[in-house]
Amino acid sequence: MTDCIFCKIINGEIPSYTVYEDDVVKAFLDISQGTPGHTLVVPKKHVQDIFAYDEKLAGEVFARLPKIARAIKQSNPDIVGMNILNNNGAVAYQSVFHSHIHLIPRYSTQDTFS
Ligand code: 5GP
Ligand code: ZN
Ligand 1 within 6 A of CB of 76:
no
* Local confidence band at 113 (pLDDT 50, 70, 90 cut-offs): low
Residues that are catalytic: 100
For ligand 2, an ion, list residues with CB under 5 A: 1, 4, 6-7, 46, 98
pLDDT at residue 110, rounded to an integer: 73
The whole-number average pLDDT for the span 33-48 is: 97
User: What pLDDT is attached to residue 68?
Assistant: 98
CA angle 105, 16, 106 (to 5 degrees): 5
Q: Kindly report, residue by residue over 61-81, the tens digit of the pLDDT.
A: 999 999 999 999 999 999 999
What is the ipTM, given to two decimal places?
0.99
Residue 112: what pLDDT?
A: 64
CB of 5 within 6 A of ligand 1: the answer is yes
Instruction: Note the pLDDT of residue 114.
Output: 62
- The pLDDT tens digits for 72-108 are 999 999 999 999 999 999 999 999 999 999 999 999 9
Domain spanning 5-107: CATH 3.30.1360.120: no
Domain ranges of the chain: 5-107
Q: What is the mean pLDDT of residues 49-72?
A: 98
Span 28-49, average pLDDT:
97
- Ligand 1 pocket test, pick from 7, 32, 84 with the greatest ligand atom count within 8 Å of Cβ, gives 32
